[in-house]
Every structure is written in C-alpha cells, then in structure tokens.
Amino acid sequence: MENDEKIPLLTPFQLGPFLLNHRVVLAPMTRCRSYGSIPQPHAAVYYSQRATPGGLLIAEATGVSDTSMGYSCTPGIWTQEQVEAWKPIVKAVHAKGAVFFLQIWHVGRLSHTSYQPKGQAPISCSSKRAPGPSPSGDILEYSTPRALETREIPLLIQDFCTAARNAIEAGFDGVELHGAHGYLIDQFLKDGINDRTDGYGGSVENRCRFALELVEAVAKEIGSQRIGFRFSPFSNFSDSADSNPMKLAVFLAEALNRYNILYVAEPKIKLSGEVESELWPVKRAFKGAFLAAAGFDRDSGNAAIESGLADLVVYARHFLANPDLPRRFQLNAPLNLYDRNTFFSHDPVAGYTDYPFVEETV
C-alpha cells in the first residue's frame, strides 16, 4: 500500500509470532448463516472478501458444546463434521495471506430451553434469569438458567479445550475466548450476576477464577501464543454489570499476564469521551497486545494507534459493510452504509457477501 507510513492504522505490527501488515482487525460478529450449527461454503466467500495479506480476522462466536448455543444458525466447533466444514473457510482466508482466529464461546444464561439438548435449562454461574429479547430477536424471553455445581466446572473447561484443539485442527491460527457482553465467562466475572458462595463467587479474585482456569487449560492445550481474550468490564450488556468495573478490569488484565497470552480485546458498546480514561489503566496493566473496539472510525482509529492507547483496532459494522476496509482507509474513500436489517438474517448473500468494493462504487 502506498503512503502507509503516514497512516498509523496501516503500519506493521508484530503480534507474537504473527507479522501483521496493518492494524485494522475484523471483529467477530454473529452473522447467523451457519445452518444446523454447521459452517457453510458462503462463509468462505464472506471471510476471504475481508482477508488481506498480513491482516487479522477473528471469526464469529462459535459454540464449544451443544449446551453453548443461544442464537439460531450460529456455528459450532465441537463435532468432527463442524471441524471439516471450517477447513475450506480457513483455507480460503489463508490463501489471501491473512491470519485467522476463531472466537469460541458459551452463551450461558443467554439462551432458551429450545436451544438446549433435551429442552433442559441453560447453564450459568447463577439461577438469575437474563432480560430479553436477544439481540437477534429470535428469543423474546430467556429461560431461567440452572446454576452450575462446583464439580461441573472442570467439565465445562474441558469443552473449551476440546473446541480450541478442534479449531487448530481446522487450520485456525488461534482462538479468542469470548469473556464479554454478558455471556458465560462474563457471567462469572460480574458481581451483578455472580451470586455464588463457593470458590467461584464473592471476591473479585474468586469471580475471575473460572476465566483464569480456563485460560490456563486452553494454553496447555494449544499454546499461550495462540490465545486472545475478549472482555467487557465496563459494559452492562444483558444486565452484566459490575459494582467496580475498573477494579475488575485491572485485576483481570494483570492476572492474565502470568499466562503470556497473545492479546486482550476490550470492546465498548459505543465510543464516548470516557473511553480513553477507562482503557488506559487496562492497557498499562496488560503486557501483551491490546486490541480496542469502541465504534472507531478512520480518524479515531488512527488516533488510538498514534497515542499508544491501542496496538490494533477492531472494526465490526464498518468491516461488515466494507469488505475492503483497509483499502478504503488507505484512500480515505467513503464507506458503504451498513444495513441493520440484515445483521442476523439467514440469507447467504444479502447483507453478507454483496457489499461492494471501492472499485465497484467509483
């Protein structure tokens, strides 16, 4: 790319073992196009459209077990059939020279009995029911969850380990553990949800125990430099609030250092004047790469890189609607407008692979 040195977002960055040619990252976004929890061939088109040499893509949240699901047509990675379905998608991205991580998750209480095996209650750290509806609108009221027994937690951690191992078998370069936005890991982290009285509840140290044990186990499974961790301490998405989010954020960021993972990502629901004051202490606490995702545009993303607030900037809706987002940033070209009505559509083309490239709009 010409004149990259003048554009902070388009400068190289060494992300552990991966040399990135630019700092514009594709966010993991639930797109609801995986029928029967099986990734589909049209996903290879979608992700390869957004792949560039030395670019980092993070694939959509993918379930670790049959109890992890809470949205229709979202993918999984716990069966061999799912692993085989991911392989050509990963191959298409690697053919473009990009680095590809898979976000793995368990939705916890943000589910309904209709998504659970044998219609059982969703599992969580608590029996507190979440307020509906779901972001995709397919669940109007969440089901009351069942609080996990202490003895069940190691089994759940093993589900994440199996999913991570399967992701590497499918060809992914690493995994991002989804500890944000009110899903299962976040449910353990936040005292607004976690009301446990065992070693996984109460103090901030205890509430972080599940996340840290999970990171340690997955690191032993696939290696620490193949792991990213996404958390949202300052968000109350789906009633996932904490009484002291800064204390939680800094404690967890510092605790993650002992495992030498590749990066942490901190997503904000929207960009505000408070973002920098909230993110700086977390950025300073964590010794690895710091990915910021806060509704950034070209100018604010460049400013975040230039100031040192972020090492990489994660783009969701803009990257969804602009498959060539780094190129548009290079040219300072106008961006396609995204269509919210198609965010969670099951259509394999509309609002998915039909957004035009910049050369097609001039």
Range of the domain at 144: 8-331
Q: How do strand 18-20 and strand 13-15 relate by DSSP bridges?
A: antiparallel
Count of domains in the chain? 1
Distances (CA, A) of 317 to 41, 71, 81, 320, 337: 22, 19, 30, 5, 9
Is 94 within the bounds of a domain? Answer: yes
Is 211 within the bounds of a domain? Answer: yes
Q: What is the pLDDT of residue 1?
A: 45
Count of alpha carbons within 13 angstroms of residue 282, beta-carbon side: 29
What CATH number did the domain enclosing 100 receive?
A: 3.20.20.70
User: Rounded to whole angstroms, how far apart are CA atoms 352 and 344?
Assistant: 10
Contact yes or no for 21/340 (Cβ under 8 A): no
Is 341 within the bounds of a domain? Answer: no
User: Rounded to whole angstroms, how far apart are CA atoms 354 and 326?
Assistant: 18
End-to-end CA distance of the chain: 19
Is 345 within the bounds of a domain? Answer: no
Task: For the chain, 362 residues long, give each residue's pLDDT as a single digit of tens.
Answer: 444 458 999 999 999 999 999 999 999 999 999 999 999 999 999 999 999 999 999 999 999 999 999 999 999 999 999 999 999 999 999 999 999 999 999 999 999 999 999 999 999 999 999 998 999 988 999 999 999 999 999 999 999 999 999 999 999 999 999 999 999 999 999 999 999 999 999 999 999 999 999 999 999 999 999 999 999 999 898 999 999 999 999 999 999 999 999 999 997 644 445 556 678 899 999 999 999 997 899 999 999 999 999 999 999 999 999 999 999 999 999 999 999 999 999 999 999 999 999 987 65
Is 161 within the bounds of a domain? Answer: yes
The pair of structure tokens assigned to 122 is 């969703």
User: Rounded to whole angstroms, how far apart are CA atoms 286 and 309?
Assistant: 12
| 212: CB partners within 8 A, 6+ apart | 252, 255, 256, 259
Is 1 within the bounds of a domain? Answer: no
Is 65 within the bounds of a domain? Answer: yes
Is 221 within the bounds of a domain? Answer: yes
Candidate list 46, 47, 183, 355, residue with the active-site label: 183
Instruction: Report the residue count for the chain.
Output: 362
Sign, CA torsion 134/138/139/145: negative
One-letter amino acid at 171 equals G
Instruction: Indicate if 71 belongs to the active site.
Output: no
pLDDT tens digits, residue range 170-214? 999 999 999 999 999 999 999 999 999 999 999 999 999 999 999
